Structure 1
Amino acid sequence: MKIFFSVGEPSGDLHGANLVRALRSRKSDIQCVGFGGPRMAAAGCELHQDLTQLAIMWIGRALLHLPKFFGYLRQADEYFERERPDAVVLIDYPGFNWHVARKAHDRGIPVFYYGTPQLWGWAPWRIKKMRRNVDHALCKLPFEEQWFRERGVNATYIGHPYFDELRERKLDTPFVDALRSTEKSPLVTILPGSRTQEVKSNLADLLKAAKLVRQQVPGTRFAIASFKESQAAMAKARVAESGLDCDVHVGKTPELIDAASATMAVSGSVSLELLYHTKPSVILYRVSRFAYAVQKRFRLVRYITLVNLLTATDLFPRKPAIYDPASPEDAHVLMPEYLTSEDRTEDLAGHVVEWLTDDQSRQSLVDRMSELKDRVAHGGASERAADYIVRELEHLGREAA
């Protein structure tokens, strides 16, 4: 049995690696090939290209890489024709994966989308592509199965694969202990994102907010969790410019979250990790004025943070707005979030200062996060997805026989 993967995000590489291992544990003869990243390669997937090197944002930057994407798409289609894999598994990365799905579908190869794109939040008109070219939509969030099924897509909720990784992860305990025991002053971890463009757009504001926190809570320590060395070098340069005393670490994100009293983070799947560790966190996503206008036109949900979506009672309001800390409508929000083209550093700092100085407020938030964690942070998504894929392919095999 041969399965072709197409994965382009660092987080997708993580989920893909877990799925590859789960599949191979069920059928030792399964061959996993295709596009992915280093984690998938380490799990036993034969990579044709490392797409995670092209994890980009916004149409302007994507256009610069169009020749590469067309080349990879042609390579995938030639492989489909030549090797006829038993299935194609897509993970996130919809801009490219829509085309991979179409090529596979046109050749009669079953397509599984593991971790469906969040069409309900920004592009419901693309449901036609999902309905036409995806045979099995495996959903990460509880409300997605019904949303997709109501629109004619064969969808199944299997849980969020990120929690699989979190439940299995082993922390560098000595490093965490050192962070906690060096001083009794609180540690605030800064999480500027896994994409270089996110770091460029958000880190300056996060450092500015950190300086405001330090002014109001003297002695507060800060540490930046960088995804890779090149981003760490960028972070160190920004830290030097800011004049803030702040450590920068690579490959220590779980430990820096675990040791923190609070965090300031860029929006992304890291919010699920923050929930898992029940860390009070404020979320930033700084974009250009043009990008802000574009998202305002197309966004269909009030929140950009997955954790906040999981607590919302009205997922799809008639007139979506953005989070407002003063609004009773947002009283349920666990992670204050700021999607903005303006300076909101005072707001960021205000939340962190409250958590560092008001024990009752902080504990109330932690208790609410714990309740949600107990409801949604269950592992097993990779196992359920592997069972589903193997079961469906074996069923197809019996029908063909």
Structure 2
Amino acid sequence: MEYRIFFSAGEPSGDQHGAALISALQSRLPNFTCLGFGGPRMAQAGCHLLADLTSHAVMGFLRPIAQLHHFYRFYRQAVVEMECHRPDAVVLIDFPGFNWHLAKAAKSRGIPVFFYGPPQIWAWARWRVRKMRRWIDHALCWLPFEEQWLAARGCSATYVGHPFFDECAGAVRDSALVAQLTGDPRPLLTILPGSRDQEVHANGQAMLRVAAGLREKIPSLRVAVAAFRPHQAQLMERWAHQLDVRALILTGKTPELIQSATCCLAVSGSVSLELLYFEKPTVILYRISPLAARIEKFVRRVKYITLVNLLCHGGRHAAELPPNDPTTPAPTDALFPEFLTARDVTQEICRRLATWLSDAEERQKVVAVLRELKKSLGWEGAVDRAADWFVRYLGQPHEVTPGLHPHSISALHERPRPAGLRR
């Protein structure tokens, strides 16, 4: 039997996760075809792309408006595909702003809809759970507390684990570059300014100012910048020259630069899981506008914005403590100190990084906690578990009615859970 699945991923990280899932499905389903939206990695894995959605990834409250004409065109393409070549399922990977519209379109046409890595509605704008109940048949969750959180709100969900560790373990890295960088005994700070142009523009110069401040404290410091795209590397090179910061700036070498680092300075995002995988002490900086800083206080419902900090502090339950609760540490005192801010925090970040760069004992304390956290998650095999779930689903007869789940929550909970998984 031939199976046809429509995928939609709008972030570079979603492109990576989608590619891994597609490869796993291809090895299990000989007559499997896929199409939809994604990026170069999904295309390389065999997905026929209607458009490269990763090149349009934006965040915030106003920037997406400038992209509306593109997203409307992509939406119309998807609707035509659903109506003319009806897929067996639609698989959405995060990127909720656009993917909610695809979910609604598919659901109204009786096509089953799944989220592989549902949006973090437990952290931001929880009213969106109504959309999850109405338009999503099932969510395959990446974080251990998400299944229970969604199930308690009437959403069908299964925890499979995060695919990032599988992808990191299977990646082919430039061992010569790692050997060259780690062979130098001088401390190395790796800067990760983000994959979106918006993130690089907001954080790049501030991160280089931190590097300049650290160089004054630690003259032997080496600085490396992991750029996602060539034009972003050129921008960082120009800023580094203006700030008189000597830095090794490379494109497409993020894993190598993280692996070789003494510690890192990064934006918030899925890269924090790569930093966890490589057990690298890290400070998180995410600069936002004064207006966005005011708005986020009303829509944010978790104490930490960094996944590593959420996982370290017990997931959602610990993270939901009131912002001013004196019994819990501030975000700047978390395992990965984090600064979601509109103000200049250069000196604060410099102090924290300088400790790790110059004091091996303090640095190893953080490494030990990261190692234990990574071990406790048991994420190895997450991609295979997700692929097996889809194979089981596709191999069973289903009568999907718009607005109804193909599986009840109770039926899903009666199934044996994969070994090593916890709620």
TM range, normalised to the smaller chain?
over 0.9
Cα deviation, residue 393, structure 1: 1.8
CA drift at 1:328: 4.3
Contact 1:305 1:337 in 2 (8 A): yes
1:191-215 Cα deviation digits (max 9, x unpaired):
0011111010011111111111111
Structure-2 residue corresponding to 1:247: 248
**2:157 corresponds to:** 155
Partners of 1:362 and 1:316 lie apart in 2 by: 24
d(CA) in 2 for partners of 1:132, 1:13? 25
Corresponding residue of 1:379: 380
Pair 1:399–1:153, CA change in 2 (3 A): closer
Residue in structure 1 matched with residue 323 of structure 2 by the alignment: 320
| Equivalent pairs, count | 397
1:124 aligned residue: 126
Counterpart residue identity of residue 213, structure 1: L
SS class of match (1:119): coil
Q: C-alpha distance in 1, partners of 2:119/2:287?
A: 22
Equivalent residue of 2:62, what SS? helix
Quote the residue 1:13 is aligned against: 15
Q: Do the aligned partners of residues 269 and 108 (structure 1) sit closer, same or farther apart at CA in structure 2, a change above 3 Å counting?
A: same
Is 1:344 the counterpart of 2:345? The answer is yes
The residue aligned with 1:146 is 148
Shift of 1:162: 1.3
Match of 2:419 in 1: none
User: 1:318–1:262: structure 2 CA closer, same or farther, 3 Å change rule?
Assistant: closer
Matches within 5 A, 1:26-65: 26-65=28-67
Equivalent residues of 1:5, 1:34 under 8 A apart: yes
What SS is found at the alignment partner of 2:396?
helix
- Distance in 1 (CA, whole Å) between partners of 2:378 and 2:338 is 21
Question: How far 1:316 moved relative to its partner?
Answer: 4.6
- Output the CA distance in 2 between the equivalents of 1:317 and 1:281: 23
Which residue is equivalent to 2:110? 108
Q: Please say which of residues 367-376 and 355-364 is displaced more in the overlay.
A: 355-364
Q: Distance in 1 between matches of 2:231 and 2:341?
A: 26
Deviation at 1:396, TM superposition (A): 2.5
Alpha-carbon distance, 1:378 to partner: 2.3
Paired residue type of 1:89: V
Query: Which 10-residue stretch deviates more, 372-381 or 183-192?
Result: 372-381
Is 2:369 the counterpart of 1:368? yes
* Structure 1, 42-51 or 372-381: larger mean CA deviation: 372-381
How far off its partner does 1:269 sit?
0.6
2:99 partner SS: helix
Q: 1:186-197 maps to which residues of 2 (within 5 A)? A: 186-197=187-198
- 1:330 is displaced (CA, Å) by 6.1
Q: 1:307 to 1:179 in 2, by over 3 A?
A: same
Secondary structure of the residue that 1:223 maps to in structure 2? Answer: strand
| CA pair 296-328 structure 1, distance change in 2 beyond 3 A | closer
> What are the residue-to-residue correspondences of 1:123-272 with 2, within 5 Å?
123-181=125-183, 183-272=184-273
Q: C-alpha deviations, 1:91-135, integer Å up to 9, x for none?
A: 011000000000000111111100000000011101010001000
Q: Secondary structure at the match of 1:245?
A: coil
How far 1:170 moved relative to its partner?
2.3
TM-score (ref. length: structure 1): 0.95
Contact 2:192–2:265 (CA under 8 A) maintained in structure 1: yes
Name the structure 2 match of 1:396: 397
Measured against aligned partners, the alpha-carbon deviations of 1:285-304 in whole angstroms (never above 9, x if no partner) come to 00100111111111000001
Matches of 2:237 and 2:192, distance apart in 1: 14
Deviations 1:263-292 (A, max 9, x none): 111111111111111111111000100111
The verdict on how the C-alpha distance between 1:92 and 1:359 changes in structure 2, with shifts beyond 3 A counting, is same
- The whole-number CA distance in structure 2 between the counterparts of 1:280 and 1:397 is 47
Cα displacement (A) at 1:58: 1.6
Long gaps (5+) in structure 1:
none
Identity %: 49
- Number of the residue aligned with 1:274: 275
Amino acid of the residue matched to residue 26 of structure 1? R
Distance, in Å, in 2 between the alignment partners of 1:282 and 1:206 is: 11
1:311/1:88 Cα in 2 relative to 1: closer, same or farther (>3 Å)?
same
Deviation at 1:321, TM superposition (A): 5.4
The CA deviation at 1:327 is 6.4
Give 1:317 shift. Answer: 3.0
Q: Distance in 2 between matches of 1:88 and 1:288?
A: 35
Moved more, 330-339 or 104-113: 330-339
**Unaligned 5+ residue runs, structure 2?**
402-423
Contact between 1:90 and 1:113, CA under 8 Å: does it hold in 2?
A: yes
Report the residue type matching 1:320 in the other structure. P
Which is further off, 45-54 or 312-321? 312-321
Alignment-mate amino acid for residue 209 of structure 1: V
The 1:125–1:258 alpha-carbon spacing in structure 2 relative to 1, beyond 3 Å, is same
The root-mean-square deviation of aligned C-alpha atoms, in Å, is 1.9
Q: Distance in 1 between matches of 2:330 and 2:264?
A: 24
Q: CA separation in 2, counterparts of 1:154 and 1:195? A: 32
C-alpha distance in structure 2 between counterparts of 1:399 and 1:102, whole Å: 14
SS of corresponding position for 1:138:
strand
Query: What is the CA–CA distance in structure 2 between the aligned matches of 1:209 and 1:318, rounded to whole Å?
Result: 31
SS in 1 for 2:357: helix
